Amino acid sequence: MGSRRKLGVGWLAVLVGVAVAGAALAALGNGADRCPECCYRDVTITGAGVWWANGTLAYDRTQDSGYPHFLYINEGPGFTHHIYVWWNPYYSGWQVYAVYNELPCQRNATYVNLSDSPTPPHTGWVLVEVDITNCPVVSGLPAPRLSGGEPCAKLGPGASAGFLDRGWPEGEEPPVVGELVVSATYEVGEMITGCCAVADSSGGPVAISYVTMTWYAVTIGEDFFDIREPIDSRLLYEEDGAFCFSIPTEGFEPGYYDIRLGVPLQDQQWIRVEVVAQAE
């Protein structure tokens, strides 16, 4: 069971960079909600001839190899768009893997950079594979250019910038399940609660009408894909400088659930939780 903590302004996660269209959403500390002791700036990919490889990715976790892993997920009715940046031991280098499926059209592409730099290199990427089925062929050139991905200031021991009312006890490593880190654990019948705020890249407030929240039941898939079944969604409106939510878990089956927070016409933040059976 994760340790409880009080929800107050000091614990709010901030949806960073929402003042401009296309900016990515990330928690305060650029992903520190997922790994309280880790912090990397978002990675932005531009200029790729494979257009679905372009986007802004948030820090997701640190791999067993010690390299940071970055992730972009955008899903909706009839389409799936994922981008991954990570150090792949198969290539002994960095990899960009991008998938865009809009059935019957299916696309994926891989760019590789044979560098052992501690963070994703910005230039020197080479297209090694494009797999396209039932859709127009595209050129993989020009190669992409990356920006960001640098370490940022680490948070102190026990600090957290999570979206939820609880996290993991200090010193305990949050588990990675499927595509995401599990941010917290709840028993069936407990309320999942949390808050977020909206700020620009410098931390200043952004005037916005609402934040969207959708939650999903998750089946852990094989390879790169988890399967999400939407349960419900709602709009969150600002109260006292924060957008807060609560999700009752009465009737939930034990398993994994994803919460998606988003700002209109912008990217989104994904949060994974585990719901377990009530203790006897």
**3-state DSSP of 179-223:** CEEEEEEEECCCEEEEEEEEECCCCCECCCCCEEEEEEEEECCCC
| CATH number where 227 lies | 2.60.40.1930
The per-residue DSSP string of 145-159 comes to EEEE--B-PPPPTT-
Tens of pLDDT along the chain (280 residues)?
Answer: 332 222 332 333 344 322 223 323 333 222 333 333 446 778 899 999 898 999 988 887 777 778 888 999 888 888 899 999 999 999 999 999 999 998 889 899 999 999 989 899 999 999 998 888 888 877 777 899 998 887 653 322 222 336 777 777 777 788 888 888 888 899 998 888 887 777 665 566 666 778 889 999 999 877 667 889 999 999 888 776 677 888 989 999 999 999 988 876 665 788 899 999 988 7
Are 48 and 135 contained in the same domain?
yes
Are 266 and 196 contained in the same domain?
yes
Owning domain of residue 111:
43-148
111 part of a folded domain: yes
1 part of a folded domain: no
117, 148, 179 - which closes a domain: 148
Are 138 and 164 contained in the same domain?
no
Count structural domains, the chain. Answer: 2
Are 168 and 81 contained in the same domain?
no
Are 135 and 207 contained in the same domain?
no
Are 134 and 183 contained in the same domain?
no
List C-alpha distances in Å: 118 to 26, 66, 150, 156, 270.
21, 8, 9, 22, 25
148, 166, 193 - which closes a domain: 148
144 part of a folded domain: yes
d(CA 154, CA 87): 21
Nearest to 16 by CA among 68, 67, 59: 59
Measured in Å, how far apart are the chain's first and last C-alpha atoms? 14
Query: CB–CB of 143/128 below 8 Å?
Result: no
Q: What is the pLDDT of residue 155?
A: 28
35 part of a folded domain: no
106 part of a folded domain: yes
Secondary structure of residue 67 in the 3-state scheme: coil
Are 141 and 168 contained in the same domain?
no
Q: What is the pLDDT of residue 161?
A: 39
0.85 exceeded by pTM: no
The two structure tokens encoding residue 186: 């709840």
Nearest to 4 by CA among 198, 170, 171: 170
Are 105 and 178 contained in the same domain?
no
With residues binned 3-state (H G I as helix, E B as strand, rest as coil), the percentages for the chain, rounded to 5, are 0, 50, 50
DSSP state of 181: E
The two structure tokens encoding residue 37: 């002791």
Q: What is the pLDDT of residue 9?
A: 29
Are 187 and 216 contained in the same domain?
yes
Query: CB–CB of 209/177 below 8 Å?
Result: no
26 part of a folded domain: no
Are 86 and 101 contained in the same domain?
yes
DSSP state of 2: P
Q: What is the pLDDT of residue 205?
A: 62
Are 167 and 267 contained in the same domain?
yes
d(CA 160, CA 90): 34
121, 148, 175 - which closes a domain: 148
23 part of a folded domain: no
Q: What is the pLDDT of residue 223?
A: 66
20 part of a folded domain: no
Phi-psi group of 124: left, alpha or beta (phi > 0 → left; psi -120 to 50 → alpha; rest → beta): left
Are 59 and 86 contained in the same domain?
yes
d(CA 278, CA 255): 12
DSSP state of 21: T
